[in-house]
Structures are given as C-alpha cells and as structure tokens.
A and B are shown apart, each in its own frame.
Chain A
Amino acid sequence: MIFVTVGVQLPFDRLIEAMDRWAGERGRTDVVAQAGSSAYRPQHLTLRKTLAPAEFRRIVEEAELVVAHAGMGSIITALELGKRIVVMPRRADLGEHRNDHQLSTARYMAEQNLVTVAPDATELVRLLDEPAAALPQRKISRIASAPLINKISDFLDAEATRRGLGVPARPAA
C-alpha cells in the first residue's frame, strides 16, 4: 500500500492529481490518500479525510511507501516508523502555501538522505516507477536531540528549584 498525505492545513491538488493519474495508468488499487480539503476528485485513490493522529500513524505503519507534501508532521512520522518517503514541496507561486519554506526543508532533508524530493509530477512518476528499494530508508528515534532535551530539562529543573518545588529525577538517558 502507498499512503499519500497532504497534511492537515491546506489542499494540495497537484499531488493528489498526479498520484491519481499514476495509479490509474499503472492499475494500482492500493493507493490510500489523505487529501484534506483538496478540490480534485480522484478516481483511483481510496480517499480518507483528515485523520486523527493515531489512525494516521497506523496507516503510515502499514504503508510500503509514503508520498507527501514536505510538511514536518508527515516527514517526521514516516521517519519515526522507518518508512521510505517521497516529498513534493508546496510552491508559493502556485498558491500551495504562504511561502516556499517547504522547498528549503525538502532540500535539507534530501541532503541528509532522509527523504527523496520530487519537484514536479514528472519526477514523481519517474520515482514511483523505479523499484522502491532504490529510495533511501532511514529510521529515527522518537525523541528530540539530546542537547535540546537537556536544555529544556535544565530550564524546567531550575524553575522548579526557584519556586521551591520538587525536582523529579530524570529518566536514565
């Protein structure tokens, strides 16, 4: 099963239409899409509206491949579950987002070999037709980097001390 997701905020017709055409042409009946408020009506995708987080996670878990907008929710969930993910960044000039931050996020993530970027539908189709095993597959832990966690823990402990409250023991790292 391939899981397509456009996130919770905005429609993304370009991605849904590209996936619908591809699924139709290749005769794939196992493509599930969380299309949010996208206006395009796919014929070959199993549509899900916005999904609750637990359900979203469960579907990602079942997927062999995730195809998504370059949103942090989609990318992080896929990486936490060790799933291959192809992202198509939203473009501000096409009215797909307020600015082009998804292009920057996607470029950085691709440099780290965490995701594969499809800038447009043509490249997306080319990637989907390749064997999935050719795409990078990475799994990350479910916890932020240690320096960030420690900084926040230190801040909270200092605040508890300042207020004369108990400072709980930290779980072993």
Chain B
Amino acid sequence: MTLKVLAVGSGGGHWTQLMRLLPALEQHDTALVSTMDQGVKGRFYRVLDANQREKWAMLKMMAQILLVVLRERPHVVISTGAAPGYMALRFGRLFGARTIWVDSFANVDQLSMAGRLAGPHADLWLTQWAHLAKPGGPEFIGAVL
C-alpha cells in the first residue's frame, strides 16, 4: 500500500502553483481537488468556489470537501489555497491525516486569510516569503518559482 495524498488548489494561481509541487507528490497515490475542471489524468474532484462572504456556497463547499475526504481517507492533505484547501486540511486532520499548507506566492505583504486560519491545523505551515516567516510558523523553505 502506498501513501494516500489529497492535493487541493483553487482554480487560477493556486492550481498553477500546486502543479509546480506535483513532482513531490506523484510518486504517492495522489488525488487532486480544484474549483474548476482541470482536465487532469487520475482521480480528480471538482468543488464549489466560495469565500467567507458567501455563506451558502461555503456550506455546500464544506459538505463537498467532507465527502471527498471521507471517500479518499487521505494520509496527507496538502494545499496551496484557498478556502476549499483550508476546509480540506481541517476535515483531513479530523480523520487522522497530517497536513501541509503552502501559502500562495501572491501573498507578499501578509499571509492570506486562509493561510492564517490554516496555521494551527498544519503540520507543515509554509510561506513562500522569507520576511513572512516567524518563530512558531509559518516557515520559509523556498518558493514555487
């Protein structure tokens, strides 16, 4: 049996950045999640896009993510953002997964809202900017670029 990984990136830049991390993931049994159809091979789930201002969409998206997590039962959840990735980390951890958050390169001045919320629930909590790293996290290791 191999390690089951759930990798989550919303459509647009989050997904583009997640794809640049694939070489680290693809030796494992990885399923992908996004908010847009990405035309990828392998197991893929599409969920609703939502942010904290859209309560109803947020609830539906949460339910979708919960179903994906129950179906996949991943050992590790990794996300580059945004809200669906945060939910996947929370639900993943609830069911015993270890979690990785890679905050988007676009967040130069401060961590994203989802990234700040994800911090306490991430076993590996990363920023892509050295000046945003702090004792206790997030950590800076490198960037997707």
Contacts and interface: CB of A to CB of B under 8 A. Distances in A.
A94 interface: no
A10 B89 CA distance: 26
Nearest to B129: A108
A51 to B, nearest CB: 10
Interface string A136-173: 00001011111111111101100110010110111100
A27 interface: no
Among B13, B14, B17, find the residue whose CB has the most chain A CB atoms closer than 10 A.
B13
A1 interface: no
Contacts of B142: 144-148, 151
B75 A144 contact: no
Chain B interface size band reads 35 or more
A149 B76 contact: no
Interface in B69-85: 75-76, 78
15 contacts: A7-B12, A72-B12, A76-B13, A101-B106, A104-B109, A142-B20, A144-B143, A144-B144, A148-B142, A149-B24, A155-B124, A156-B5, A156-B76, A160-B28, A165-B3
Interface of A: 7-9, 50, 52-54, 71-74, 76-77, 79, 100-102, 104-105, 108, 140, 142-153, 155-156, 159-160, 163, 165-166, 168-171
